[in-house]
Chain A
Amino acid sequence: MRHMAIMNKLLLSAVTASLLSVTTAQAGDIVNVYSARKEALIKPLLDEFSATTGIKVNLITGKADALLKRLQVEGSATPADLFITVDAGRLHRAKEAGVLKPVSLPVLENSIPQALRDSAGYWYGLTLRARPIIYSKSRVSINELSTYEALAEAQWDGRICLRSSQAVYNQSLVAATIDALGAEATQGWVEGMVNNLAKSPSGGDTDQLKAVAAGVCDVTIANTYYLARLINSSKLADQAVASKLAVFWPNQQGQGVIGRGAHFNVSGAGFTKYGKHPEQAKALLEYLASAPAQAWYADINNEYPVVAGVEISQALKGFGDYKMDPIGLEVLGQNNRQAVQLMDRAGWK
């Protein structure tokens, strides 16, 4: 009994001591990052950056809107220097919320195309993510496919799987379509697709791909890196799923909005307004846009690089070249609220 009490005290002091040693942001040659990119998809790059520059990177990952809220509440006292998200709409939202500041980086302005960064330098895109149509090779003939809009037609009745409208990727797709077609036509398109659903939306993009492969439905809309991951997987079950699927790049032909190109989005980063380590943050951002880092994204997560001349993964090469919708990415942020309301009205869960 006595021993138990001593043990308990020891344990309590060990716990307290170890937790107290977790301090907030230390001073020195550091940079503090709030990242909506998952740890596994950014930490190796940050470690590499620290190893080459000697700048220590402190990281908090989380959901973009929650991190944005934290930035807002912390205000001028925030320790964060860089804000990283996986969606341009969220970067725009951060800019609107007044937590970012414009920074001019000539190196990046030269290497990253204008369309993939904020014109005033509030944020820079770091990777490209395309969201085309993915279909079952055995049950869909390529002649049936043409545009995103065509998925609302009656021939697709009961043949579509879609992820929930909670997913920011779908919100951005609808936001981009509002920009191209206008709200009214987009409403009709979304309603048509929802009517054509084979099952109520659930799960992530990978689940939709598996559903198409299993025959639950014939087509879906998903980010390409999920398919590429299945292709590269060492698991036979994943490879079997991937072997039944193919990518179709929609809206490639025709005049005007019909041929506007496939929907894409960027993951990117912006400088916080009250960051205390601007030089280190600049160095980190330049590193994230450098050729080795860009090759890492392409290699590890099958994302398209934003700078020219970087090799893409074998899986991505297999998907072929495509034309991108030349939309200004801030539109994704501007139309986000309208897009969600529209999906609510259409009953897209």
Chain B
Amino acid sequence: MFRRHGLSVFAVVIAAFILLPVIVIVSYALHADGALWQHLLDTVLNEYLVNSLLLLLGVGVGVLLLGVPTAWLTSMCSFPGRRWLSWALLLPLAMPAYIIAYTYTGLLDFAGPVQTWIRDLTGLGYGDYWFFEIRSLGGAIVMMSLVLYPYVYLMARAAFLEQSVSSIEVGCSLGYSRWRAMWSLALPMARPAIITGLSLALMETLADYGTVQYFGVSTFTTGIFRTFYGYGDTAAAAQLAASLLAFVMLLVLLERYSRRRARYHSAAESRARADLIPLMGSKAVMAAVLCSAPLTFGFIIPVTQLLLWAVFEAEPLGWDFVSLAWNSFSLAFLAAIIVVTLAIILSYAKRTKPIKPVRTVIAMAGFGYALPGTIIAIGVLIPLAWADHSLIALFENFGWDNPGLILSGSLVALLFAYTVRFLAVALGSVQSGLEKIKPSLDHAGRSMGHSPLAILRKIHVPLMRTSILTAVLIVFVDVLKELPATLILRPFNFNTMAVRAYELASDERLVDAAPASIMIVLVGLIPVLMLHASISRRRPH
């Protein structure tokens, strides 16, 4: 029994553990009293909903517009700068949304250098001229699109690159133009990857608190915090979070229904690439401009501003920056290894035994990504503290020393929270990598008498190396940027760069937050560059 179902059982147990904090939150929600809910319904809920939906819609359109064309151009066409743009387009991933928001506000706000310059130049006063109000719903959409499009870019590009060129060639030989082949063949084939990237960006958008709060845009998530902080009502906050979760589930189901039985693995064997489509003259310039724009606005401008602040205005770095950087790096590194390993086990269990309970549990295990970090932290804290209390009771029974809070008071809590929050990211990348490998390879391995684990190790992992590295990269960078759960769950005297940047920024010392922000971006660049090196080594461009 266990031999046949061992992996499935193991996977279900892991997934159930990861789901535990979400279950805690949902069960908390059942205890809420209706009075506050009624008040929210009467006053602010409508606005929260409308703003959240508009934000989702705007960011969805934004990341698709920025991510898909750039992925297509850098993977299928040749134009000047393509090589370095293909990895540089990933750079905004290292930029936390709240930091790009602070930075652009400093630049474009009425008190910032741009508007002050306009006023000095023209002699106009505030209100005499029109200027884009950065602190608005539109501003939030732009900021988030600029840093979240790399999810779509990364997934879409990997899909375009892994597509067998022959299907496009066949399309062309059937009389399709290259562009027609893109619309009718390449894009639909890349759809699962694009949708994965899009849903990651949207879930991140839903969970965002820092940006919308700073911009004064009331969304569902700021509502959750208002209920938790303002009303001190955990149950009602949990109820709002549970509604958010229900909404995400609905979206996931819709997407799954629209895909139904479509298969996306390529039947072709050949990995040989045809020549890239050469772009000449104005087309080449347009392609280069199109691909540099997201990079310029999502990375170069904000990083330059942060550097200027850090060098000329901020308080200089102290030596504790070394320990902050090491804490951030090691935590992100360890979390990425754990999360991706779990994602591989879960995805593979689903592939070998795609039975309903396994599929359902694994799909649900990724829901944590749409929940704000603070809510997940509470969901993690409650069961871990319960386990700690049980352990303490057990130790006392044996007459041993009180061990203290070895789970909820240590980094275990943080790593658990990161797993719950970011498993979806790793699952998305690993699963879409796995989907592209033909089942016939599994059958071949099985018929040669290999165990599923051996097949995973010898066939799948090498074949989806890029997908796995991508997953490691995204989880690493996400943990590096993560703030709310880190803030609540970290042990004594343990700070990260994100915590430092937040503390200074929330004390309204934006300029002094610049050095820590820059460090987050720099450390985040390490895996981006490593990923790039690894992918280019394996694939002739």
A residues near B (Cβ < 8 Å) are 11-12, 14-16, 18-19, 22-25, 32, 38-41, 58-63, 65-70, 73-79, 93, 164-166, 168, 171, 200-207, 210-211, 213-216, 226, 235, 241, 336-337, 340-341, 344-345, 349
Taking A203-B216, A215-B126, A235-B511 as known contacts, 11 extra A-B pairs with beta carbons closer than 8 A to each other, sorted by chain A number, are A14-B330, A38-B503, A60-B490, A63-B229, A73-B378, A79-B492, A204-B506, A215-B125, A216-B110, A344-B43, A349-B218
Residues on B with C-beta less than 8 A from A341 are 39, 43
Closest to A340 in B: B230
Nearest to B334 among chain A residues (CB) is A15
Whether B494 pairs with A69 at a CB distance below 8 angstroms is no
CA distance A11 to B126 in the complex (A): 54
Beta-carbon contact of B110 and A214 below 8 Å: yes
A164 touches B216 (CB 8 A): yes
B215 proximity list for chain A (CB < 8 A): 202
14 CB contacts below 8 A, A to B, read A12-B333, A12-B334, A19-B330, A23-B491, A25-B492, A61-B499, A66-B488, A73-B381, A74-B405, A201-B216, A204-B508, A241-B111, A337-B232, A344-B44
| Across the A-B interface, the 4 shortest Cβ-Cβ residue pairs | A202-B216, A58-B492, A210-B111, A15-B330
B72 within 8 A of A: no
Size category of the B interface is 35 or more
Complex: A12 Cα to B118 Cα, angstroms: 52
Residues of B with Cβ closer than 8 Å to A? Answer: 39-40, 42-44, 105, 109-111, 115-116, 125-127, 135-136, 213-216, 218, 222, 225-226, 228-234, 313, 326, 329-331, 333-334, 337, 374, 377-378, 381-382, 385, 388-389, 392, 402, 404-406, 408-411, 487-488, 490-495, 499-500, 503-504, 506-508, 511
Minimum distance in angstroms from B519 CB to a CB of chain A: 16
Instruction: Tell which of A19, A60, A73, A216 touches B126, judged by Cβ atoms closer than 8 Å.
Output: A216
Question: Which of B43, B218, B410, B508 is close to A207, meaning CB atoms less than 8 Å apart?
Answer: B508
Q: Which residues does chain B contribute within 8 Å of A38, judged by CB atoms?
A: 503-504, 506-507
Contact present for A61 and B503 (CB under 8 Å): yes
A202:B385 contact, CB within 8 angstroms:
no
A171 / chain B contacts, CB cutoff of 8 Å: 230
Residues of A within 8 A of B374 (CB): 66
B111 & A213 in contact (Cβ 8 Å cutoff) = yes
**Do B334 and A58 have beta carbons less than 8 Å apart?**
no
B393: min CB distance to chain A, Å: 10
* B contact residues around A213 at 8 Å (CB): 111
A24→B404 contact, CB < 8 A: yes
Q: Which residues from B are CB-within-8-Å of A337? A: 230-233
Nearest residue, chain B, Cβ from A215: B126
Using A202-B216, A214-B110, A344-B39 as known contacts, say yes or no to A69 and B492 having CB atoms under 8 A apart: no
A24 touches B491 (CB 8 A): yes
Question: Quick one: given A59-B492, A70-B381, A344-B44, are A23 and B232 in contact (CB under 8 Å)?
Answer: no
Instruction: Find B508's partner among A206, A214, A340 (CB 8 Å cutoff).
Output: A206
Instruction: Decide if B492 touches A205 in the complex (CB within 8 Å).
Output: no
The smallest C-beta distance from B231 to any residue of chain A, in angstroms, reads 5
How far does the Cβ of B468 sit from chain A's closest Cβ, in whole Å? 13
Q: Chain B contacts of A215 at CB under 8 A? A: 125-127
B336 to chain A, nearest CB (A): 10
Interfacial chain A residues near B225, Cβ < 8 Å: 166
CB-defined contacts of B232 to chain A, threshold 8 Å: 65, 68, 93, 336-337
Name the distance in Å between A157's Cβ and chain B's nearest Cβ: 14
Q: A206: nearest residue on chain B (CB-CB)?
A: B508
Question: Which residues of B lie under 8 Å from residue A12 when comparing CB positions?
Answer: 333-334, 337
Closest A residue to B128 by beta carbon equals A215
By a CB distance below 8 angstroms, the chain A residues around B125 are 215
Residue of A14, A58, A216, A336 near B493 (CB, 8 A) is: A58
Q: Please, which residues of chain A bring their CB within 8 A of the CB of B42?
A: 345
Instruction: Check A75–B385 contact: CB distance below 8 A.
Output: yes
Residues on B with C-beta less than 8 A from A68 are: 232
Nearest-neighbor residue (CB-CB) of B231 within chain A: A337
Q: Choose from B228, B377, B411, B499 the contact partner of A19 (Cβ within 8 Å).
A: B411
B406 surroundings in chain A (CB, below 8 A): 24
Bound complex: CA A209 to CA B364 (Å): 46
**B173 CB, nearest partner CB in chain A, Å:** 40
How far apart are the CA atoms of A24 and B489 in the complex, in Å?
12
Give the residue name and chain of the A residue nearest to B386 (CB).
A73
Q: Which residue of B226, B230, B330, B404 is within 8 Å of A25 (Cβ)?
A: B404
Shortest beta-carbon distance from B392 to chain A in Å: 6
The residue on B at minimum CB distance from A11 is: B333
The interface residues of chain A lying within 8 Å CB-to-CB of B493 are: 22, 58-60
Cα-based distance from A67 to B378 in the complex (angstroms): 11
Alpha-carbon distance A93/B234, docked complex (angstroms): 13
Q: From residue A279, how far is it (CB to closest CB) to chain B in Å?
A: 19
Closest chain B residue to A171, Cβ basis: B230
Given known A-B contacts A203-B135, A216-B110, A22 and B408 have beta carbons under 8 A apart = no
Beta-carbon contact of B216 and A74 below 8 Å: no
Contact B333–A235 (Cβ < 8 Å)? no
Cβ A22 vs Cβ B508 within 8 A:
no
Indicate if the CB atoms of B411 and A63 lie closer than 8 Å: no
| A205: chain B residues within 8 A (beta carbon) | 508
Contact B135 A70, beta carbon cutoff 8 Å: no
**Complex-state Cα separation, A65 to B232, whole angstroms:** 7
CA distance A12 to B334 in the complex (A): 7
In the complex, A207 Cα to B509 Cα: how many Å? 11
Q: In the bound complex, how far is the Cα of B214 from the Cα of A58, in angstroms?
A: 30
Inter-chain contact A22/B135, CB cutoff 8 Å: no
